[in-house]
Amino acid sequence: MTITSLLELRLKPEALDAAPAVITETLEATRAFQGCLGVDVLRDTDDAAHVVLLERWASLEDDDAYRAWRQTPEGGSRLAEVLAAPPVLTRLSVDTDL
């Protein structure tokens, strides 16, 4: 079953100029990770410091493996440098009963 993960980011106001390069660098590894079907970057039209990453994963297991990898030294990124708060993760699947 495919999974859609929404990663909500709150950027530091002083990091708005640096954030695109850091996010792009981070997403290169995300998009290359096994099971990643794609990532879109959505920016709030009223608040440039509010960004949502819309990630599509082949399975919950692939998403779990990715999240675990990001917690290792090899999976670390510079994303924390531009964040004003910890990211908020929401994972969704299609409900075929509705």
Q: Which strands form 50-57's sheet, in the order they lie side by side?
A: 36-43, 50-57, 3-10, 88-92
**pLDDT block averages, 10 residues each, the chain of length 98:** 96 97 96 98 97 97 97 94 97 90
- pLDDT computed for residue 78 by the predictor: 94
- pLDDT computed for residue 19 by the predictor: 97
Answer whether residue 80 is part of any domain. yes
Answer whether residue 43 is part of any domain. yes
24 is in which domain, residue-wise? Answer: 3-92
pTM for the structure as a whole: 0.93
- The total of structural domains in the chain comes to 1
Answer whether residue 98 is part of any domain. no
- pLDDT computed for residue 38 by the predictor: 98
Answer whether residue 97 is part of any domain. no
CATH number at residue 80: 3.30.70.100
Nearest-angstrom CA–CA distance, 61 and 49? 31
- pLDDT computed for residue 85 by the predictor: 97
